[in-house]
Amino acid sequence: MANMVREQISGEVQEAGVFALIVDESKDVSKKEQVSVAVRYVHNDEIWEEFLHFIPADGLDANSLLTTIKQTLSKCNIDHNRCIGQCYDGAAVMSGCNNGVQEKFRQEVPQALYVHCHAHRLNLVLVDCVNNVEPAGEFFEIVQMLHNFFSGSVVHSIFMKKQKELQAADKLFELKKLSETRWACQYSALLAIQKTLPAICASLDDMMQQPNARRKTEARSLKGLIDFQFVVQLALFEDLFRTTKFLSDHLQSPDLQLASATDLVESTIASLSEEQKRGLKKQQPGFVVHQRRTCKSP
């Protein structure tokens, strides 16, 4: 079945005449490095982005990766000389202008221009921003600590119960683990905390009355960290990451074009600059004021 699908993709690429190459590295569940290879081309006047293969990486140097990529394309009957674009992340072994895969590939196929994945660039910007602003780093550390604490079965059941008691909505939220590699996706983690903050605080109050000394101590520590500053930061970062998630989702759209991506990036920068001037959005101060009493320790 997989070979039949690849044959169809190969035929469409050959019909298109040219294609772009998308390659990424990742580890599987056994911690072995894998290389994913995909192609992007035009078929029937529409842009198609199709996955070809996951291949174990025999080596992680530029020459080994280039060989793996070329062999994969060859096995799929796709002529690498027809490539007009390469898209990778910013790792030096892939993007290096002297000895990276993209440069070695261009030495053989000069027209294969390299484009740094815009979604990856967005992720790098967000990581740098958080790592270079001390209060931001501390805030996200608390967010992760909340997830870790509420993942325990006893605490989790109390948290679910408090949500049912305090929230009118039918939907119950789970606190999300922060993603170490996809910072643009932290929005869901922040939204879950914002939606359940009263239940979080009520659950911590309950746990502070429990006989288990360890959980009692952890609950007291976390409740002390959920102060007014935390609530203000939650409102600000939820607003920021809602905007960046919208951009990230669109940058990963298979039919997105470079011109549209550029427009989206520019409009997002303009929107964030405007928000910086205005401060919290009108609805966010309401959230902060409403939660002011909730976040105070009893």
Question: How many domains is the chain partitioned into structurally?
Answer: 2
Hey, how many other C-beta atoms are within 10 angstroms of the C-beta on 128? 11
Mean pLDDT to the nearest integer, 96-109: 92
Would you say residue 150 lies in a domain?
A: yes
Residue 94 scores a pLDDT above 80: yes
**CATH of residue 72:** 3.30.420.40
List the one residue out of 280, 285, 282, 243 whose CA is nearest residue 265: 243
Query: Are 57 and 168 part of one and the same domain?
Result: no
Last residue of a domain, one of 116, 132, 149: 116
E strand map for 141-220? none
Q: Which domain holds residue 87?
A: 2-116
Would you say residue 296 lies in a domain?
A: no
Residue 181 scores a pLDDT above 90: no
Query: Are 219 and 144 part of one and the same domain?
Result: yes
pLDDT, position 256: 83
Mean pLDDT to the nearest integer, 177-186: 76
Query: Are 78 and 130 part of one and the same domain?
Result: no
User: What's the pLDDT band for 112 if we cut at 50, 70, 90?
Assistant: very high
Query: Are 100 and 139 part of one and the same domain?
Result: no
Query: Are 170 and 252 part of one and the same domain?
Result: yes
Tokens, residue 143: 């967010």
User: What's the pLDDT band for 220 if we cut at 50, 70, 90?
Assistant: very high
List the one residue out of 205, 150, 199, 141 whose CA is nearest residue 175: 150
pTM equals 0.75
Query: Are 69 and 136 part of one and the same domain?
Result: no
The residue assigned the tokens 């997989």 is 2
Average pLDDT score, the chain: 86
Percent of the chain predicted with pLDDT > 90: 46
Mapped onto helix, strand or coil, the DSSP state of residue 39 is strand
pLDDT, position 217: 94
Residue type, 13: V
Would you say residue 245 lies in a domain?
A: yes
Query: Are 167 and 262 part of one and the same domain?
Result: yes
Last residue of a domain, one of 116, 141, 157: 116
pLDDT, position 298: 43
Lowest mean pLDDT among 15-19, 65-69, 250-254, 262-266: 250-254
Label residues 51-90 b or e (16+ Cβ within 10 Å = b). Answer: ebbebebeeeebeebbebbeebbeebebebebbebbbbbe
DSSP codes of every residue in 125-152:
HHHHHHHT-HHHHHHHHHHHHHHHHHTS
Last residue of a domain, one of 116, 132, 158: 116
Would you say residue 186 lies in a domain?
A: yes
User: Is the distance from CB of 95 to CB of 114 less than 8 angstroms?
Assistant: yes
Lowest mean pLDDT among 71-75, 81-85, 91-95: 91-95
Query: Are 97 and 135 part of one and the same domain?
Result: no
User: What's the pLDDT band for 297 if we cut at 50, 70, 90?
Assistant: very low
Query: Are 93 and 229 part of one and the same domain?
Result: no
User: Is the distance from CB of 85 to CB of 112 less than 8 angstroms?
Assistant: yes
Query: Are 106 and 150 part of one and the same domain?
Result: no
| Most confident residue range from 144-158, 176-190, 266-280 | 144-158
pLDDT tens for each residue of 258-292: 888 889 999 999 988 887 777 655 445 555 555 55
Q: How far apart are CA 100 and CA 117, in angstroms?
A: 15
pLDDT, position 199: 93
Query: Are 172 and 27 part of one and the same domain?
Result: no
Query: Are 47 and 137 part of one and the same domain?
Result: no
Mean pLDDT to the nearest integer, 89-101: 87
pLDDT, position 184: 66
Mean pLDDT to the nearest integer, 201-216: 91
Residue 130 scores a pLDDT above 50: yes
Q: How far apart are CA 139 and CA 226, in angstroms?
A: 10
